[in-house]
Chains A and B, each alone.
Chain A
Amino acid sequence: MTATEHPPAYKYVGTRPIRHDGYDKVIGKARFAADLNLPGQLHGAIHRSPHAHAKILSIDTSAAEAMPGVKVVVTGDDFPALDPKNPNFDLAANIIARGVAYYHGHAIAAVAANTKPEAQAAAAAIKVEYELLPAVLSIDESMADGAPLVNETNHTKFVPPGEPSNLSTITNLDRGDVDDALAAADVVIEREFDCAHVHQGYIEPHACVVDTGPDGKTSVWCSSQGHFRVRSMTADVLGWDKSRVKVTPAEIGGGFGGKTTVYLEPLAARLSEKAGKPVKMVMSREEVLRATGPAPEAKMKIKIGATNDGELTAIDGWMAYGVGAFGDMAGLIGAMSVASYKFPNLRMETYTALTNTPKSAAYRAPSAPHAAFAIESVVDEVALELGMDPIELRLKNAAVEGDLTAMGMPHPRVGLVECLEALKASDHYNSEVPEGAARGVAVGFWFNIGEESSATVNLNEDGTATVLTGSPDIGGSRASMALMAAERLGIDVYSITPVVADTEAVGFTDVTEGSRATFATGKAVVQACDMIIDELKKRAASIMSVDVDQVAWVDGAAVSAGHGGGEGGEPLTLAAITAQAKRTGGPLTATASLNAAGAGPSFAVHCADISVDEETGVVSVLRYTAVQDAGTAIHPSYVEGQFQGGSVQGIGWALNEEYIYNADGVMDNASFLDYRIPVASDLPLIETIIVEVPNPAHPYGVRGVGETGIVPPMATIANAINAATGVRMTSLPMSPPKLLSALNKRSK
């Protein structure tokens, strides 16, 4: 279902063609990184730390090196010591430990051997002597006075350098007078929340094949969300020039933010360089869970004040995000994601804390789901206290153009009100809540980003076209690029071949993250199309012997008002012009590169009907609707797919998913059996409503849609559980044992 503000007048944009890369994916021909093999390749394996925090006293690789098939072993000593100011300093230390293991599963050494079993046996035979250091395993321990240091190289960002610290950021955002506003409020609700670590859970483990030749030139084939970043990270960690590294993107088997960084490529490159042979490395699922980035854990305290007529007057928030053993800015980003309501008075005090657990990585709208779980739960409590409909309360306070985010940035044109109205008008919201069930709603926000993109459009002799971009396609973006090019050029979408090109075949392009590909790379594609249309018009003018300013581009053809069309009076089609390219000036090609400004924020509103089995604490999701502003849906099926996929990841986060660590900091549930992501039988259909409030900064109005969908589900379900049982769940996941325990404690 689509709720459109202005009916679009597009021929291709907004249609649902079969995606260009689809056939290969249904016949088993699509090449993912682990499907690639090079002649003579070796197989890599990693020796990982058995301790959550330990000083490495010695590494003995002699037994491993003497084992059958083993060609080379590398340790941290085989990598340059980076300057602490190098932006990839932490990355390098995470890829392979140098002197200290910071978490259970931290890579200590890597082996390349003829076969994978040989490499694994040799990795297990590496002997490491450790001196145990105190492991800090929770946000509370990390922030406690006198806490042991998690990582002696970490210093708090944005403040003058001081002693090493367990805090990566300490930030305060505020406006108005929160204390006065709370004192004057008719209703004040305060709750404390916590969220466990969760993993992105992409089904394809990290994988790469790397070949370093005798000239030092290194070719990488890998699964990533951004091969230009793989290039820069790999080169930095090895101390190489970027020009030494060529990265070719394989198909990517899911990322969700988790493949915006690298783990294997620099190891495989060094192994390949030393062995003189290609090296293939593929993680096991257990390695993915133990050693790649989960989303942060968090603790939050949120206090919201409101007037009796439902104006939210103040928010006072305290949030701490636990990001593992290396610093980032999760706390600050969490505060920045507070942007859904006007809140004239606002204070957000945030911390980013380190613990001796794996370095966290981006996961779909990073940091926003935690904050929204807390804030949307408290907003729900305010609505209950005031006896207001939860949609009405949100409509009364919804941010519109010009309202300030927590950061103090005014919103551009946004579609929160439109999303709330669309849900209010929906079949789901107007249906009776089924007997024995209850309903919850919540809002989500994500900024979206622009950043740098390049695109090249090559027209072929027969009037077909190739569109090259540097944005890995993680959910249908090639189809979107082809649709935008088809719309611009006026040729059939299947006449266009969209290609994700390697780092030497297309201009620099940032990672597919921040819901930016269809927005920013799409903008580059449209710009390149416009450049090539200018050239087509020049060629047409010369063929038609008219001035170029008399030529217009209409429906895939040059028409000249002054000339009445082409040679025979007819419009000169794109194919007719490309057929004469040789004699009118040569091949038709155009490249556009840009740093895209104006990424439009995307709001969502979700609604869930759930039932609770009070004997087991199991929550069943009976009906679920995701409403979100897409700006303009280029390929509506894949826009819906983003809403649905985000919703279900959020449902898993809400109800099941969590890292369970034992007292030694060892993850107890490092498999898909025990880290349980939703399966088909856990879920209903996920209904979608695409709201289209066009983003003025994109030629077709695109807002990124990839991330916002994961923001509302946790509070949506918590609010429904509260409606069903009278129990306010404040700890994620709301798993059966936790809910059962809360139900048992409920005052009768």
Chain B
Amino acid sequence: MSLGKEMSLKKMSRTHVNCTINGDEVDFLTTDATSLLDALRDEVGLTGAKEGCGTGDCGACSVLVDGRIQCSCLIFAPEAEGRHITTVEGMADGEHLHPLQQTFLEGAALQCGICTPGFLLAAKALLDENPAPTETEIRYGLAGNLCRCTGYDKIIRAVQEAAVQLKGA
């Protein structure tokens, strides 16, 4: 191990990013080449968003950026500057689960659970915009998220049930 190697690491330039994550003002240092997903997981310590592909094809890394569902693997971390970001860790209100979290649990809408954070956020974005979606609208609203365990059946039903509960709330 040479001193030169250590020096080169320290010289790597970093950007200071300020944003709001799950309601808290957060700041972190990141390189310009780091994805928002990696920054959330490695710098901020929120590992709820998962990497399934790193190319925006599976939706496991989905987060809300200013209320809109996005693949955090396709966003550079410095682009989060000034944004409001919601991750799965921010969905529950204290000890009270979001109705989607509750209906996913009660309806067995998860098996391995790796895709679940992305599905919960995609479903939240869908219901925030369309509180009474049809089954087809739910299916297209969640078409950017891959699940390999459930065949989607119980996920669709859980979103339908959450929509009913949210409407009654």
Contacts and interface: CB of A to CB of B under 8 A. Distances in A.
A308 to B, nearest CB: 40
Contact of B46 (A19, A28, A476): A28
A672 B52 contact: yes
Nearest to B140: A681
A26 B57 contact: no
Main secondary structure of the interface of B (DSSP, over half): loop
Interface stretch (A51-59, A391-399, A636-644, A726-734): A636-644
Interface in B73-131: 87-89, 91-92, 97, 101, 104-108, 110-117, 120
A282 B48 CA distance: 16
A672 B111 contact: no
Interface residues of B, number: 62
B166 interface: no
A596 B59 CA distance: 40
Contacts of B156: 680, 685
Contact of B5 (A69, A204, A255): A69
A25 interface: yes
Interface in A674-688: 677-681, 683, 685-686
B146 A677 contact: yes
Contacts of B120: 26
Nearest to B159: A680
A578 interface: no
B117 A28 contact: yes
Interface in B113-159: 113-117, 120, 135-136, 138-140, 142-157
Nearest to B98: A26
Contacts of A678: 151-152
Identify the interface centre among A28, A201, A251, A673: most chain B CB within 10 Å of its CB. Answer: A28
Contacts of A27: 48, 88-89, 91-92, 97, 101
B111 A476 contact: yes
Contacts of B142: 679-681
Nearest to B118: A203
A26 B99 CA distance: 11
B104 A641 contact: no
B53 interface: yes
Contacts of A672: 52-53, 55, 57-58, 146
B108 A253 contact: no
Main secondary structure of the interface of A (DSSP, over half): loop
Contacts of B92: 27
A632 to B, nearest CB: 17
B105 A637 contact: no
A68 B50 CA distance: 28
A643 to B, nearest CB: 8
Interface residues of A, number: 64
A693 B74 CA distance: 49
B20 interface: no
Interface stretch (A126-134, A524-532, A645-653, A658-666): A645-653
A203 B114 contact: yes
Contact of A679 (B106, B135, B143): B143
A35 interface: yes
Contact of A641 (B8, B42, B91, B154): B154
A624 to B, nearest CB: 9
Contacts of B87: 28
A114 interface: yes
Contacts of B106: 18
Nearest to A21: B113
B160 to A, nearest CB: 10
A478 B136 CA distance: 33
Nearest to A22: B105
Contacts of A31: 47
Given A28-B88, A641-B149, A68 B9 contact: yes
Nearest to B48: A28
Given A28-B49, A31-B47, 10 more contacts: A23-B97, A203-B148, A204-B52, A285-B54, A285-B55, A640-B154, A677-B148, A679-B152, A686-B151, A686-B153
Interface of A: 16, 18-19, 21-23, 25-32, 34-35, 37, 68-71, 114-115, 117, 200-205, 251-256, 282, 284-285, 474-476, 635, 637-638, 640-641, 644-649, 671-673, 677-681, 683, 685-686
23 contacts: A19-B105, A25-B116, A26-B88, A26-B97, A27-B101, A28-B87, A34-B51, A71-B1, A114-B9, A203-B60, A203-B148, A252-B112, A285-B52, A285-B57, A638-B111, A640-B154, A645-B111, A680-B147, A680-B155, A681-B136, A683-B139, A683-B152, A686-B151
